[in-house]
Structure 1
């Protein structure tokens, strides 16, 4: 066994990550599945590679001068990589972070000396408050600032052409037949997949692992619960824009993975393989296992695990968070027929019995008229419904992030009766606050606590999406 490497700088420790066979999750499969453990890079993610590549390219091209400032919009990992590289090379680093990013990442960024600015992503791309517009404004206002722009910067995929792809080819002795990775900026799959295709003469199949509702794989663009990958589109966005770092023909195929499967697979990685990885790793591994089930012993699958689960202890690796958003009902996941499923008790627990008897979910579009809302609520138990952002189709259900308020039949009837609202008037002024949300696996006592004294009901979530409304009488003692 060779001695560990000795480095002159922390930057020399970026990359060079091992392959680890997923022997337990891949048990019974003819094709072996190996995980590229990017969480073992010095900054804890695959984004260390892109960060170093982008900074060195900017210095070479005269875009980043001594004493300058690095600015980036990030879900966390690229910002962490830039903070490590940037601070080590003497730059100020400002990371604008999506407000829904795991808070652990905010703390890690600050620990490395980055300045953190929180910005919303649940707004249209054209909104001045959108993450991308915030960083552009910071660059304009900061002398000597350089926007890393990982989404459009070609030094992002180039990092993987030079490092990740060659490492996988060498580590497998050229035996890799399938490469599976998530698609965020697209740099990893474009660069790594492109190199593997080139050196194999096109023999390697590249598979994109994508959240089910992400646009990349053909979803409707509605919100999902896996960070750092996929492509979300706010319904009010006028013009969708895809990253230039992503080559659209990079993936030969996509595996679209529901949130529950992604999150529970990430938890299985920790509990069965001893690999504490993030939710996007769960997406990638779920996809890789699907791919491997269709293959034979002559094949070899490599799946890239982008980051560490230490950044998500308050989310996917928290039972309380998983229950809050309706991803757990009985405390864990089981393996059934080679697929990950939520264990469903023989006797329904939590809010499931009440939800099953509540009838189908009724929602009202937030841009409806008063008359349309009143007709929708006619005959609805409890007379209350969540108001949601308009979307032409919701094949995966209404995400909790799309719920913007609540509509009460009582309030509508009173406004129509006293003439303060006309049937053709916009509903907006009569919208009440959103109903408190609870996960289907939470208890009735927890639902009552969330209900408090001022809400007419609670919204029940299954897999982070609205599944039903329980009016106050349904939760009575």
Structure 2
């Protein structure tokens, strides 16, 4: 009989899969190391076991202890599997930009999940780095994993992932491409592969909002490069000890939109359902294609499963809200199509200014058409309200007709975006679209800007 003693025995031995359509135009053999075949569905299972075993060996983690870690979700899942088998408690501290699926999965495997804000400095007491450290200090018999600086992370990939790739490619690998977050995967794999063949090139995939690429090229840690980004699992606003820049030959940066779009492409064109960092890795690989030759063997690592991004990259509404969905928007009807079922917010001439203010606040809008029994007769926007208040503090009790501006232009559904755009001016903040059924919808400057790809 062939079986594992427990689920941890199934970690590793993940397959290499040839990529075809999604890397069209790349003149080399491109193979994906698909880490979703691990039981926790990510590459992080490997280092989770190694970090825990090393902590047990040197006494940092004691029987019945509590494991505490800041994670983007995948490391937490790997730690949870080990904690279940070995009898530890687990607290995962996660940033609020991570998908709900990741949080729900962690709770499903027994982890306590604490969510922290993304848009704070690493040293801020609310950051998931700081909260993790504080919890470790406050919790009796606990161990703070610190995957960023815990070198057992990269050692796991030096001992396991690197040798697997070398053996699976029969030593023919020429390039390794991987997203860089904690740095454990790229540094561990890179160290092993370069020991076998120093000519193998190691390429890191970075994201905009992260410091890695510029630091690698200049040695400068530029805080101006740090800002919030959507892509999960890669990039950092710190320099983890696990990132060995001497092993990395170069970085390329990938936008949030390209990472999301290519995540979907991998599923649709290759039938491989993987996560956000895989999309970034493929787009990055395409950006690097000039470095590859026909005889090259390029291995790109797919970190985790698409199941953790069902509510994000694989959700049309989420993609559309961020302008990531490649849709052809050429006419007025393309812009308003998601709002057709929503009633147009209006205000009547005899209503008070205070009513318009309340409506704007309630619906989070900046302008409102004004109507009377004959139809549209004017408009009110933030500028009108501001000027009115500056001139007369009691203007909130005046009727709308006394402060309203000109009525918005009305266009047909088929009017081109170019023609709609020409109707906007300093005095005209919106355009109305005739829905041809007695109803209308509004297009604002923000809607036009949001349609730009």
CA positional deviation for 1:188: 0.8
Tell me what 1:351 maps to. Answer: 335
SS of 1:71's partner is strand
CA positional deviation for 1:214: 2.2
Of 130, 133, 136, 2:133 maps to: 136
CA positional deviation for 1:261: 1.5
Q: Does 1:207 align with 2:191?
A: no
Residues 267-286 of structure 1: CA distance to partner in whole angstroms, max 9, x if unpaired? 01101100011111000111
Query: 1:174 and 1:44, CA in 2 relative to 1: closer, same or farther beyond 3 A?
Result: same
Tell me what 1:320 maps to. Answer: 317
- Decide whether the 8 Å contact of 1:288 with 1:301 is kept in 2: no
SS of 1:25's partner is helix
CA distance in 2, matches of 1:324, 1:415: 34
CA distance in 2, matches of 1:14, 1:203: 29
Moved over 6 A (4+): 414-419, 465-468
Query: 1:72 and 1:307, CA in 2 relative to 1: closer, same or farther beyond 3 A?
Result: same
Query: 1:315 and 1:169, CA in 2 relative to 1: closer, same or farther beyond 3 A?
Result: same
CA positional deviation for 1:189: 0.8
Tell me what 1:70 maps to. Answer: 67
Tell me what 1:289 maps to. Answer: 286
Tell me what 2:31 maps to. Answer: 34
Query: 1:64 and 1:295, CA in 2 relative to 1: closer, same or farther beyond 3 A?
Result: same
Tell me what 1:473 maps to. Answer: none
Q: Does 1:221 align with 2:238?
A: no
- Decide whether the 8 Å contact of 1:33 with 1:289 is kept in 2: no
CA distance in 1, matches of 2:290, 2:332: 32
CA distance in 1, matches of 2:251, 2:332: 35
CA positional deviation for 1:329: 4.3
Residues 401-447 of structure 1: CA distance to partner in whole angstroms, max 9, x if unpaired? xxxxxx9656766787789xxxxxxxxxxxxxxxxxxxx9xxx99xx
- Decide whether the 8 Å contact of 2:117 with 2:126 is kept in 1: yes
Residues 356-403 of structure 1: CA distance to partner in whole angstroms, max 9, x if unpaired? xxxxxxxxxxxxxxxxxxxxxxxxxx79xxxxxxxxxxxxxxxxxxxx
CA distance in 1, matches of 2:174, 2:108: 40
- Decide whether the 8 Å contact of 2:64 with 2:89 is kept in 1: yes
- Decide whether the 8 Å contact of 1:98 with 1:118 is kept in 2: yes
- Decide whether the 8 Å contact of 1:33 with 1:303 is kept in 2: yes
Counterparts of 1:387-398 in structure 2 under 5 Å?
A: none
Tell me what 2:277 maps to. Answer: 280
CA positional deviation for 1:295: 1.9
Greater percentage in helix: 2
CA positional deviation for 1:466: 10
CA distance in 1, matches of 2:147, 2:43: 13
SS of 1:35's partner is strand
Residues 236-284 of structure 1: CA distance to partner in whole angstroms, max 9, x if unpaired? xxxxx31111112232111211222211111011011000111110001
CA positional deviation for 1:12: 1.3
CA distance in 2, matches of 1:53, 1:461: 51
CA positional deviation for 1:28: 4.6
- Decide whether the 8 Å contact of 2:118 with 2:228 is kept in 1: no
CA distance in 2, matches of 1:416, 1:190: 61
Tell me what 1:306 maps to. Answer: 303
CA distance in 1, matches of 2:289, 2:296: 8
CA positional deviation for 1:289: 2.8
Q: Does 1:231 align with 2:236?
A: yes
Tell me what 2:185 maps to. Answer: 188
- Decide whether the 8 Å contact of 1:87 with 1:93 is kept in 2: no
Query: 1:128 and 1:410, CA in 2 relative to 1: closer, same or farther beyond 3 A?
Result: farther
Counterparts of 1:284-433 in structure 2 under 5 Å?
A: 284-330=281-327, 344=328, 350-351=334-335, 409=383
SS of 1:94's partner is strand
Of 85, 100, 106, 1:103 maps to: 100
Tell me what 1:116 maps to. Answer: 113
- Decide whether the 8 Å contact of 1:329 with 1:349 is kept in 2: no
CA distance in 1, matches of 2:153, 2:24: 35
Pairwise CA RMSD: 3.1
Q: Between Structure 1 and Structure 2, whose CA radius of gyration is higher? A: 2
TM-score (norm 1): 0.69
SS of 1:54's partner is helix
Segments of 5+ residues of structure 1 without an aligned counterpart are: 233-240, 331-343, 354-381, 384-406, 420-439, 446-455, 469-477
Query: 1:347 and 1:172, CA in 2 relative to 1: closer, same or farther beyond 3 A?
Result: farther
SS of 1:351's partner is helix
Tell me what 1:160 maps to. Answer: 157
CA distance in 1, matches of 2:261, 2:200: 28
Segments of 5+ residues of structure 2 without an aligned counterpart are: 215-223, 338-365, 368-380, 394-416, 418-430, 433-442
SS of 1:217's partner is helix
